[in-house]
């Protein structure tokens, strides 16, 4: 059951990411892509606040006191994600997403999860990381002539 939940939650994130990429790539007449990203972030923040009571009590004041620095760190990380997506999608399209995905595996799984948070790693997960890196190599060999 845990695996099914993991796949379901990952699917939600993947669909959201695809919607974000599609919306950003389809935006018309936007001279400043970062302004578009900022506007989409306002919508995302509004929806997050609307949905937050579904996951339990909000407790805004204690949360801010206990996690102010983490909120700033996460917000800065979300900004960098939006900035990177904007630059990547506007200059290279959405198909090079595989490069982001693998770099995300390295930065999040390896550095944050394994090295900083000391989460366990086994041979299957290590093989998955190696295969993900191999996918970037294969992707670079398969560059389309139009790029």
**What single DSSP character describes residue 95?**
T
What global pTM score does this model have? 0.77
Distance (Å, rounded) from C-alpha 109 to C-alpha 116? Answer: 10
Extents of the domains making up the chain: 1-24+32-92, 95-147
The whole-number pLDDT of residue 145 equals 58
Phi, psi of 59 (to 5 degrees): 50, 55
Distance (Å, rounded) from C-alpha 102 to C-alpha 132? Answer: 6
Per residue of the chain (147 residues), what is the pLDDT tens digit?
888 998 899 889 889 988 988 888 888 778 888 888 899 999 999 999 999 999 999 999 999 999 999 999 999 999 999 898 888 888 888 888 888 888 888 888 888 999 998 999 999 989 988 998 888 888 888 765 554
Distance (Å, rounded) from C-alpha 96 to C-alpha 73? Answer: 27
N-terminal to C-terminal alpha carbon distance within the chain = 43
The whole-number pLDDT of residue 76 equals 94
Q: Which of 9, 15, 32, 36 has the alpha carbon at shortest distance from 24?
A: 36
The whole-number pLDDT of residue 137 equals 84
Distance (Å, rounded) from C-alpha 99 to C-alpha 95? Answer: 9
The whole-number pLDDT of residue 146 equals 55
């Amino acid at each position: 059951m845990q695996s099914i939940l993991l796949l379901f939650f990952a699917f939600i994130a993947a669909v959201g990411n695809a919607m974000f990429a599609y919306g950003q790539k389809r935006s018309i007449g936007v001279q400043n892509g970062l302004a578009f990203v900022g506007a989409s972030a306002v919508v995302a923040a509004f929806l997050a606040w609307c949905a937050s009571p579904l996951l339990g009590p909000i407790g805004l004041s204690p949360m801010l006191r206990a996690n102010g620095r983490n909120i700033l760190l996460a917000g800065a990380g979300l900004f960098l994600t939006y900035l990177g997506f904007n630059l990547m999608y506007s200059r290279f399209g959405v198909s090079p997403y595989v490069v982001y995905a693998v770099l995300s595996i390295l930065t999040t799984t390896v550095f944050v999860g394994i090295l900083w948070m000391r989460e366990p790693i086994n041979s299957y997960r290590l093989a998955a990381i190696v295969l993900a890196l191999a996918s970037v190599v294969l992707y670079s060999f398969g560059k389309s002539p139009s790029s």
